[in-house]
Structure 1
Amino acid sequence: MIPVNRSEQSTKEPLFPTCADLNPPFFLKPTGIQTVLASAKLRALGKNPMVDVAHEVVLTTAEGVRLLGYVSRQPRPHNKGLAILIHGWEGSSNSTYIRTTGRFLYNQGFDVFRLNLRDHGPSHHLNTGLFYAVLLDEVFDAVRQICAAEEGKPVFLAGFSLGGNFALRIARKCAQEPIENLKQVVSVSPVIDPDKATDRIDDTRLILKYFLKKWRRSLSVKQGLYPGRYDFSSLMDVDNIREMTERLLARYSEYGSAREYFKGYTLLDGDLATINVPTIIITAKDDPIIPVEDFYDLHTSDATRLLVQPYGGHNGFLEGWRLNGWYEKVMMEAFLKVA
């Protein structure tokens, strides 16, 4: 675990979990294995009572943006609270790591709300505008609405990869606009510097192929729904994420470059210093997408704990032959301590 830089203004030490560090068996230590298996469908096989009882919810924000989610309620009244899960870029509420984490928390007695970011999952039709990672307000508003509907019951937020970046920005925004019953935030493999992360993706052939395929599919769906508004044909033959981003921004945004756009959701230096919601950041030294060095210079508050694991890849952190996520136990212990 990496020590946390302390804020002089923080006076109360939050409760954090005491789980032992991840120590996977030898066959799960390779970063490639961890990263691939994080999204492998075989991990989501079997019964999933969370999915079985899920109900679709469409949230409309103050700006008229509509976001799709699925809520799964326990069959009996309880006081454990509700966990909001946010997927990564080009993932969805149906991504393996969301389904498995949600199943674990649901089986432990929590309600679960799986939130889709704009243009993710089957939600492209809900908004004419495109998804951009800088659009924090609509996600914050959705989380606030979900929390308000719980009428004071504890709510917890967990995000993965880009969803982890959103989770950290939501925690930071709570310093100015508190959400009283948001009790804990967990951020797994969060994007800290998207400019570096994009280069990492473009330099890793298997990961690049994965994201190109999913992004092209997503853009094709959007164009099919709004053919008079969008024409992404000039993007489809591009073989790297950075150039695709440059071309998309040039035609459909006010950003002058990808680098300018990335700055809008970069989290460096003191960007997390004002967080006052108990927050846990989980990352791995062998993450092939997010450089671990990005975390060493973070200046965080007493409300934030950084857990750097030697293994785990990106969104993996699998600890045994059952391919369970180590971070699930961290989440459960953290949620129970602050509920």
Structure 2
Amino acid sequence: MIQHRFTPHPLILGGHAQTIGGTYLWSAPPYKAVTHIVELQDGDKIVLHDDCPKNWTGLGKVAVLVHGLAGCHGSGYMRRIAHKLTAAGHRCFRMDQRGCGAGVDLAAGSTNGARIGDVAAALSYVRTTCPQSEITAVGFSLGGAMTLRLAGEMRDAFPADRLMAIAPPIDFWKCSDSMERGLNRGYSRYFAKLLVRRVNDNSALRQQLRADVLKSPPKTLAEFDHRVTAPLGGFSSVDEYYAAASPVKVLSSVRAPTLILSAADDPIVVSADIETAKASASVFTHITRHGGHLGFLSGRRSPGDPDWHWMDWRVVDFVAGDH
């Protein structure tokens, strides 16, 4: 489904370099979105950031972007891609997951990979707001896994017309194990630090945690999932949480046309699992040799790509239907 080959920048080779470069080497225009507050069934709220192109008629393409772990509407890839989509004439909604970004004070609960009902609420809200538009859900990393899981569980009732998942961890156990090995431990500690900071910023979450967690916070992502994510999510163990969140067993039930994009040298997600997973005929996979985790900084621009963020333009192509 992707016609443009990815060639990594000659000075940014390897999965780690691409991952780090993709995180820090970017720029985006100032924030100009309109916010929508969506109330969830349990009373918590999430926020959607609506970037609408000028002269919008209500008939154009719409994208809903779902961020990854420790991200929000302001993450680099979210800001870049929203700008490119609106510049191409497409309307874009950036989702802040429960307790994230602008929704930090609007939720007593916390987000996790099993909160797929929150993604369903966001997509349903956009469907109601844009009833005549073709809607594409685009999930990044954890957001990609959540959207895939939702599509597999809802089947024909999935509230979007198409789905693109970029670097999704489809098996949470294997992803967790991979992040505790070698240089990958640095990412594990990095995410744990960001997530602990997010908990500390939310007084409602702090009140739900045991005193020992606040006194001696988790140092790795696996420890955070065990001591924070699982108990706050109502799971009896981290294994129960991973089983509820991993989309690997429901890919065969996905009905919406779906594209999964990942890189073989991704240091965070085990892309080999994506290639070997049992998926429905609606699911297409594209695994590049290089690109890291949400990096894809190109050294040879594909035809029509104005800059080196190869991943961004593949999202624009998919939303536009050019694939």
Q: TM-score, normalised by structure 1?
A: 0.85
Distance 1:264 1:91, change over 3 A: same
The structure whose RCO (Cα within 8 Å, separation 6+) is larger is 1
Q: Counterpart of 1:272 in 2: which secondary structure?
A: helix
The equivalent of 1:214 in structure 2 is 194
- Decide which structure has greater helix share: 2
Q: Which residue is 2:280 aligned to?
A: 301
- How far apart are residue 250 of structure 1 and its match? 6.9
Contact 2:18-2:296 at 8 Å conserved across structures: yes
Inter-partner Cα distance in structure 1 for 2:158 and 2:217: 44
Maintained 8 Å contact 1:184/1:334: no
Q: Which residue of 2 aligns with 1:11?
A: none
> Are 1:43 and 2:36 counterparts?
no
Q: How does 1:135-146 map to 2 (within 5 A)?
A: 135-146=115-126
1:88 maps to what in 2?
68
Q: 1:36 to 1:76 in 2, by over 3 A?
A: same
Q: Which position in structure 1 is the counterpart of 2:224?
A: 244
Instruction: Supply the distance in 1 between the matched residues of 2:322 and 2:120 (Cα, whole angstroms).
Output: 21
Could you tell me which residue of structure 1 aligns to residue 14 of structure 2? 30
Correspondence 1:315 to 2:294: yes
- Tell me which moved more, 254-263 or 309-318: 254-263
- Classify 1:20/1:257 alpha carbon distance in 2 versus 1 (closer, same or farther; 3 Å): same
C-alpha displacement of 1:337: 2.5
Per the alignment, residue 68 of structure 1 pairs with 47
Instruction: Answer whether contact 1:219 1:232 (CA < 8 A) is retained.
Output: no
**Does residue 276 of the first structure (1) align with residue 255 of the second (2)?**
yes
Q: Structure 1 residues 186, 228: CA separation in 2 closer, same or farther (over 3 Å shift)? A: closer
Aligned length: 314
How far off is 1:323 after superposition?
Answer: 6.2
Find 2:176's aligned residue among 178, 195, 198.
198
Q: Secondary structure at the match of 1:247?
A: helix
Q: Which runs of 5+ in 1 are unaligned?
A: 1-15
1:255 is the counterpart of 2:255: no
> Quick one: distance in 2 between partners of 1:103 and 1:91?
17
CA distance in 2, matches of 1:286, 1:172: 26
2:8 and 2:45 map into 1 onto residues whose CA distance is 40
Q: Secondary structure at the match of 1:71?
A: strand
CA distance in 2, matches of 1:195, 1:98: 26
With structure 2 as the length reference, what TM-score do the two structures score? 0.89
Q: Which amino acid aligns with 2:26?
A: R
| Whole-angstrom distance in 2 between the partners of 1:30 and 1:276 | 34
| 8 Å Cα contact 1:34/1:314 also seen in 2 | yes
Alpha-carbon shift at residue 122 of structure 1 (Å): 3.0
Asked if 2 retains the 8 angstrom alpha-carbon contact of 1:88 and 1:159, the reply is yes
Q: In 2, distance between residues paired with 1:253 and 1:299?
A: 28
245-254 or 300-309, larger mean C-alpha shift: 245-254
Overall identity of the aligned pairs, in %: 22
Equivalent pair of 2:61/2:320 in contact (CA under 8 Å): no
Q: CA RMSD in A?
A: 2.4
Q: How much does 1:110 deviate? A: 0.8
Residues 209 and 273 from structure 1, CA distance in 2 versus in 1: closer, same or farther, beyond 3 angstroms?
Answer: same
Name structure 2 gaps, 5 residues minimum: 301-305
AA aligned to 1:97 is Y
Q: Which residue of 2 aligns with 1:13?
A: none
For the 8 Å contact 1:171–1:277, the answer to whether it is kept is: yes
**How far apart are residue 233 of structure 1 and its match?**
4.8
Measure how far apart 1:98 and its partner are.
0.7
Q: Give the secondary structure class of the aligned counterpart of 2:274.
A: helix
Paired residue type of 1:265: A
Instruction: Find out whether 1:104 has 2:84 as its counterpart.
Output: yes
Closer/same/farther in 2, CA of residues 279 and 249 from structure 1, 3 Å limit: closer
1:152: how far off?
A: 1.9
Quote the residue 2:303 is aligned against.
none
